[in-house]
């Protein structure tokens, strides 16, 4: 057959295949971690959408390389979504398209709740700053939901933040669609008795929870007037949260909680075993006394095969404490490592901790796991460079200023957050029942998470306003406490779908900027010219072959 005919056939076939693949909605995912394959739960939730939803993506325009990658990944995944359900309408919007000043765009977008990312780029002799809005807005003409495509975590570069955003992209969009269409919300309750966390300190957490659940305040002490009604009301909640109680629990109250769990209820505990007056620490020459926060819960936790120790964990891997240095106009506020504020990043070995960044603890204690039949998982641990401080003892601000003696911080890592689940026997088995009129059950299945830090879910306050949970206003650092708590609630309330979607891992490789910067002119020229020589050589071979035939 004539070579020209063969070439024409190959060209025609190539053009046909090219146009066919562009018109067909078909992709083959050859990546090791199935990066371009949607999870089954994702596909199912997209198919369930019945109303028209507009998806406005503001990550558009002139973007740095890493954010262009996030833009491309966002476009790819939304194309996959729209191919499954035509009710989704995607539009990419450049917020800087209307010839407005940068300041006016920032003010406008921020007023809608979309704060920008600021990217600083060094160009040898100058510094460029780019303003980017990595946000998606979902709207169904009734409600709207904002989705942030990036999260700031302590110590992470812009590239790593973008990688994390790409890794959680599928989850975040599905999570937003779930919140937009979540008409049947499960209930959960915050126990408000026993001097638990005040509303102003946990309002940001509650606001986040209300996107998924109906959050109810519950006073456990009402049992005194009507124990049966109190217990029956309590059992309507699949989960109750007890955050930072400071008043001890009576036998009757423990009996109600025990029977609540035996009947299938789950509890998220955030407990301080040590009572510390932080205000006194700053006012009383930088010293205060740490004493036991007696809650009468030792036997309760022991029944679930856990023991929370009355001690303080001091860890070298810790957050900073800002201390005033100097007087008058010469006063400077300097950050010092504060070993009483451990920082720990949970391992991605379970569905709750997966994808969670650094967690911030304040005056935390350790938890012992006891032998038994329960399925116990240590979710978060301290580092291997810690020590324990017994109670009662003095807490001294000078600890932050003094050099850390490394040889004293040599204790093995200690559990700080533990999950216990399984079939448990009642704490009051073979014991007198404090409330005899309640119908007693001897054993049952339950789940239980114990966090050895009562302030883990509390936000800082500034000008009588609640700051975002996990944000430290003194150091301007963000921690992942809220994400971890939300994952814990989803798990305890059996809302596994979102957690399974979140568990998807994406591995991306970026160019090494240091190597690129240090590369000499000769290397750069070689990298540019080599492909040209290769193509030139192929062309010579092709021409020789053609002339030969």
426 and 300 in a common domain: yes
How far apart are alpha carbons 417 and 359 in whole angstroms? 11
524 and 428 in a common domain: no
pLDDT, tens digit, 9 for 90 and up, residues 171-223: 888 888 888 888 788 999 999 999 999 999 999 999 999 999 999 999 999 98
Give the per-residue pLDDT at 2: 57
Helical (H) or strand (E) element with 423: strand 415-425
Specify the CATH number for the domain of residue 74: 3.40.30.10
238 and 365 in a common domain: yes
CB crowding 516-549: b at 16 or more within 10 Å, else e: eeeeeeeeeeeeeeeeeeeeeeeeeeeeeeeeee
pLDDT-based confidence at residue 397 (cuts at 50, 70, 90): confident
In a domain, 495, yes or no: no
152 and 259 in a common domain: no
pLDDT, tens digit, 9 for 90 and up, residues 128-179: 678 889 999 999 888 889 998 887 666 567 777 787 788 888 888 888 888 8
Give the per-residue pLDDT at 1: 54
**Could you give the number of structural domains in the chain?**
3
pLDDT-based confidence at residue 308 (cuts at 50, 70, 90): very high
In a domain, 489, yes or no: no
Q: Which of 484, 483, 482, 478 is nearest to 154 (CA)?
A: 478
Query: Does the pLDDT of residue 314 top 70, yes or no?
Result: yes
120 and 56 in a common domain: yes
Max CA-CA distance within the chain?
Answer: 104
209 and 112 in a common domain: no
198 and 170 in a common domain: no
Could you please report the per-residue DSSP string of 239-256?
A: EEEEES--SPPPHHHHHH
**Domain span at 534:** 513-548
Strand extents, DSSP E, 463-533? 465-466, 471-472, 477-478
268 and 417 in a common domain: yes
270 and 136 in a common domain: no
In a domain, 486, yes or no: no
535 and 392 in a common domain: no
How large a percentage of the chain has pLDDT more than 70? Answer: 81
In a domain, 471, yes or no: yes
Strands 88-92 and 415-425: unpaired
pLDDT, tens digit, 9 for 90 and up, residues 63-118: 887 788 889 889 999 998 898 989 899 999 988 887 778 888 889 888 888 888 88
> Taking the C-alpha atoms of 281, 285, 289 and 295 in order, what is their torsion angle to the nearest 10 degrees?
-20
328 and 431 in a common domain: yes
In a domain, 371, yes or no: yes
Q: Which of 131, 157, 179 is the last residue of a domain?
A: 179
155 and 79 in a common domain: yes
């Amino acid at each position: 057959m004539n070579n020209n005919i063969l070439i024409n056939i190959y060209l025609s076939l190539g053009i046909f295949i090219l146009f066919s693949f562009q018109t067909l909605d078909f992709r083959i995912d050859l990546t090791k971690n199935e990066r371009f394959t949607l999870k089954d739960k994702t596909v199912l939730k997209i198919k369930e959408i019945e109303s028209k939803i507009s998806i406005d993506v503001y990550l558009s325009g002139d973007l740095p390389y890493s954010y262009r990658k996030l833009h491309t990944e966002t476009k790819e995944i939304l194309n996959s979504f729209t191919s499954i359900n035509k009710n989704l309408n995607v539009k990419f919007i450049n917020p800087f398209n209307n010839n407005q000043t940068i300041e006016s765009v920032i003010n406008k977008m921020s007023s809608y709740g979309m704060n920008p990312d600021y990217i600083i780029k060094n160009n040898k002799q100058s510094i460029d700053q780019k303003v980017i809005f990595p946000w998606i807005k979902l709207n169904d003409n009734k409600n709207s939901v904002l989705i942030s495509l990036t999260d700031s975590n302590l110590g992470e570069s812009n590239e790593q933040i973008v990688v994390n955003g790409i890794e959680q992209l599928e989850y975040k969009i599905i999570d937003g669609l779930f919140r937009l269409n979540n008409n049947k919300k499960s209930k959960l309750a915050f126990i408000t008795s026993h001097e638990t966390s005040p509303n102003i300190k946990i309002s940001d957490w509650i606001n986040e929870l209300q996107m998924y659940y109906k959050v109810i305040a519950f006073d456990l002490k009402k049992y005194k007037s009507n124990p049966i009604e109190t217990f029956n009301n309590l059992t309507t909640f699949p989960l109750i949260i007890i955050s930072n109680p400071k008043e001890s629990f009576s036998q009757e109250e423990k009996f109600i909680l025990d029977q609540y769990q035996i009947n299938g209820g789950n509890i998220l505990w955030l407990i301080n075993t040590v009572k510390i007056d932080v205000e006194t620490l700053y006012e009383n020459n930088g010293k205060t006394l740490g004493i036991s926060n007696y809650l009468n819960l030792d036997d309760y936790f022991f029944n679930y095969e856990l023991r929370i120790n009355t001690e303080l964990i001091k860890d070298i891997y810790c957050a900073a404490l800002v201390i005033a240095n100097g007087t008058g106009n010469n006063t400077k506020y300097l950050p010092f490592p504060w070993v009483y504020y451990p920082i720990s990043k949970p391992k991605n070995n379970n569905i709750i901790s997966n994808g969670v960044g650094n967690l911030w603890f304040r005056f935390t204690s350790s938890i012992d796991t006891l032998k038994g039949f329960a399925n116990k998982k240590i979710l978060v641990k301290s580092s291997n460079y810690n020590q324990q401080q017994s109670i009662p003892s003095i807490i001294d601000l000078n600890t932050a200023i003094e050099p850390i003696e490394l040889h004293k911080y040599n204790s093995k890592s200690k559990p700080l957050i533990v999950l216990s689940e399984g079939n448990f026997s009642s704490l009051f088995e073979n014991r007198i029942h404090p409330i005899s009129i309640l119908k007693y059950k001897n054993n049952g299945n339950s789940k239980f998470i114990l966090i050895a830090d009562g302030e883990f879910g509390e936000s800082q306050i500034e000008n009588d306003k609640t700051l975002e949970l996990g944000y430290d206003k003194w150091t301007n650092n963000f921690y992942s406490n809220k994400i971890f708590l939300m994952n814990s609630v989803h798990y305890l309330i059996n809302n596994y779908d979102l957690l399974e979607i979140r568990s998807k891992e994406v591995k991306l490789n970026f160019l090494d900027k240091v190597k690129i910067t240090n590369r000499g002119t000769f290397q750069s020229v070689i990298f540019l010219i080599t492909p040209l020589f290769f193509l030139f050589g192929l062309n010579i071979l092709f021409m020789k072959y053609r002339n030969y035939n």
